[in-house]
Each structure stands twice: as structure tokens, then as C-alpha cells.
């Protein structure tokens, strides 16, 4: 997983990277500190750092499906407007989930922070991300260069925030509050990938 996050794409063409989760891994955002990584390792987790922005995502194969889209700057889907650049991808996810019987809503407004969103990715809501019943189910981050953009998508299959609360040393009330901010889709990962590929332009 760490190797995938450190990959430097050529952006020669549009590409899809399905990121297999072989071991429980804590993926930190680019601005998160080493002390968190040390606590995660003490708990038996691997640690990776993504170059895109955002906060931590705890990856377990049964809980999260992760896929990256590499988009060259010359691609017709490219938008210079960072705030709108993920909308097309959010729409693809919304269509894919609808095919699986899940009605999701795409967020088109500015970033919505909560008390915990600087630490836990699924505690905040950004443009192009999806919610079901007001709870976040699809997270999207991006890293842009002069050549292109890397969109990293994490889809919750299940949501159990207690381990993240422990890693970050958050107060007990954070467990209940985080549980209300996100939700698992209870959809097989292979079905999710197939639906996403059908809808991907």
C-alpha cells in the first residue's frame, strides 16, 4: 500500500488503479504527524502516507474499497477549478451506487469541517464526496501537478470508528459522534468495482 501512495504517475493517459488492502493499514494525510504513525504501529498496523490532502483513513479489506483515478491535464474531464474538479467523479460514484440500489447525494459545496475532521477523513465532507442519509460513504481527495491530477477514492463498506479514536487518543464521546458522521454501505467490493467501471467514462 505504501508503494502505491508514493507512486509518481506519468499522466500519459487516464488510468485506474485498484489498491488492494493486503494488511490493516493507516493511511495518513500529507499534513499528519509521525506521532500518530508510531501509535498505529504499536497497535500492529502498517502506516502509509498519501500525498493528497485530507486526514487519516483506516484500511481493512472488509471495511474499505480504495481506487485511484489518474487524470492527465489534457483530459476532457480536467477542470482548473479545484472546487469543482471532483464533481464528475462524485457523479460516477452516485450512478454506480444507484445501480446497486443505494441512493447517495453528492456534496457540491465547500469543505464541511467537524471537530474531528482534521484527524479522521470520514468526519469531514468535501466537494464530490457522497453521503447516504446525511452520513459520508465515499471520500475523495486529490493531488494536482502540472501534468495531471490523482483522485483517491475510499468507499466505506463498514464503519467502526473506535480504533481511530484509540489511535488519535480522542475523548470517549468521539466514538458516538464519529459513528453518526459516516456509514458503511454493506455492498460486496467486487460488485462495487463492477458498477464503478460500468459508469466510468
pLDDT in single tens digits along all 201 residues of the chain: 555 555 678 899 999 999 999 999 999 987 787 788 899 999 999 999 887 778 999 999 999 999 999 999 999 999 999 999 999 999 999 999 999 999 999 999 999 999 999 999 999 999 999 999 999 999 999 999 999 999 999 999 999 999 999 999 999 999 999 999 999 998 999 999 999 999 999
**Global confidence as pTM:** 0.93
Which domains are assigned to the chain? 2-199 (3.30.930.10)
Tell the burial category of 4 from Cβ atoms under 10 Å away from its Cβ (0-12, 13-18, 19+). Answer: middle
DSSP state of 29: P
Rounded (5°) CA angle 7-71-64: 65
Amino acid at each position: 500500500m505504501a508503494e502505491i501512495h508514493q507512486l509518481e504517475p506519468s499522466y500519459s493517459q487516464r488510468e485506474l488503479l485498484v489498491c488492494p488492502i493486503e494488511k490493516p493499514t493507516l493511511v495518513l494525510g500529507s499534513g499528519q504527524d509521525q506521532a500518530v504513525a508510531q501509535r498505529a504501529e504499536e497497535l500492529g498496523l502498517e502506516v502509509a502516507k498519501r500525498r493528497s490532502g485530507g486526514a487519516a483513513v483506516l484500511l481493512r479489506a472488509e471495511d474499505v474499497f480504495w481506487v485511484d483515478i489518474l487524470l492527465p491535464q489534457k483530459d476532457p474531464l480536467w477542470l482548473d477549478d479545484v472546487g469543482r474538479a471532483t464533481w464528475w467523479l462524485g457523479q460516477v460514484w452516485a450512478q454506480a451506487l444507484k445501480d446497486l440500489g443505494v441512493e447517495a447525494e453528492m456534496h457540491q459545496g465547500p469543505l464541511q469541517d467537524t471537530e474531528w475532521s482534521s484527524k479522521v477523513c470520514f468526519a469531514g465532507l468535501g466537494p464530490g464526496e457522497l453521503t447516504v442519509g446525511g452520513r459520508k460513504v465515499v471520500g475523495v481527495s486529490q493531488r494536482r501537478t502540472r501534468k495531471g491530477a490523482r483522485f483517491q477514492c475510499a468507499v466505506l463498506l463498514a464503519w467502526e470508528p473506535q480504533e481511530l479514536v484509540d489511535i488519535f487518543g480522542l475523548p470517549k464521546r468521539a466514538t458516538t459522534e464519529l459513528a453518526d458522521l459516516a456509514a458503511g454501505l454493506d455492498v460486496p467490493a467486487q460488485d462495487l468495482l463492477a458498477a464503478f467501471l460500468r459508469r466510468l467514462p
